[in-house]
């Protein structure tokens, strides 16, 4: 999972030098992949729903610091993580689906 984020960086930086780096989390078969994504700060994370049913992405912090709309098949949601920390999240429709973003 770390390897995946690192590999994505040069491509994102080359394509858009002034923009945040980018990383992706895919949603399929009721699972966020990778379950834990480690990224440097100022990285934009995009969750893409490749499942055939809707899902969402909701921060587990109180109060939540991000919340996607319901994502239908092939819809996505992006958020930039600027502050180092550990961000737990879950699917608002299926709370047993959980994931973590670690910002270093
Ligand atoms: Cu879900």
pLDDT in tens, 55-100: 999 999 988 889 999 999 999 999 999 999 999 999 999 999 999 9
In the chain the domains, ranked by start, together with CATH numbers, are 2-103 (2.60.40.420)
Centre of ligand 1 from the C-alpha of residue 18, in Å: 33
Task: Round to whole Å and give the CA distance between 72 and 8.
Answer: 25
Centre of ligand 1 from the C-alpha of residue 85, in Å: 24
Q: Has residue 5 got a pLDDT over 60? A: no
pLDDT number for residue 89: 98
Centre of ligand 1 from the C-alpha of residue 15, in Å: 31
Arithmetic mean of pLDDT over the chain: 88
Centre of ligand 1 from the C-alpha of residue 44, in Å: 21
Cis ω before 37 (30° cut-off from 0): no
Summarised one tens digit per residue, pLDDT across range 12-50 is 455 555 567 999 999 999 999 999 999 999 999 999 999
Q: What does pTM read for this prediction?
A: 0.80
Centre of ligand 1 from the C-alpha of residue 73, in Å: 11
Bigger pLDDT: 62 vs 9: 62
Task: Round to whole Å and give the CA distance between 71 and 51.
Answer: 10
């Amino acid at each position: 999972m770390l390897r995946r984020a690192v590999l994505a960086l040069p491509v994102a930086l080359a394509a858009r030098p002034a923009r945040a780096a980018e990383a992706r989390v895919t949603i399929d078969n009721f699972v966020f992949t990778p379950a834990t994504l480690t990224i440097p700060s100022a990285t934009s994370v995009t969750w893409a729903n490749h499942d055939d049913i809707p899902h969402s992405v909701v921060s587990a912090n109180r109060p939540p610091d991000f919340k996607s709309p319901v994502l239908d098949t092939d819809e996505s949601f992006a958020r930039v993580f600027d502050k180092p920390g550990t961000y737990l999240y879950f699917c608002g429709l299926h709370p047993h689906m959980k994931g973590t973003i670690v910002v270093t």
